[in-house]
Amino acid sequence: MSYPLTAASGVLGKFTAVDWLQVEDIDCAEDTAHRALSERREQRNREFFRGPVEEISIELKRVLDGQIVASLEKTRERQRKRRLAAEKKKRE
């Protein structure tokens, strides 16, 4: 289903940022992402995609795997490991 763009922001309805990725080459990553998600495009001239957010996130991580420098997932994992190491050190 298509929704008109809001005049103020150009955004299709409401949206929520649920993840982020930092990549080595933004132009290459953007091209790769657009090709991977081409069948999910809401409009040809807009960067909005249809589908479950989880599926889109997984697909982007799959196709961009070699280009990802940092991500929310990697940051959380690093924080978890630091927390576990600190807890282990306290017990010793």
Q: How far apart are CA 87 and CA 91, in angstroms?
A: 6
pLDDT at 9: 53
What is the mean predicted confidence (pLDDT) over 64-76? Answer: 84
Domain range list for the chain: 21-91
At 1, the pLDDT band (50, 70, 90 cuts) reads very low
Q: What confidence score (pLDDT) does residue 39 get?
A: 93
36-57 pLDDT, tens digit per residue, is 999 998 887 777 888 898 899 8
Q: Phi/psi of residue 80, each to 5°?
A: -60, -45
pLDDT, tens only, 11-36: 666 666 778 888 989 999 999 999 99
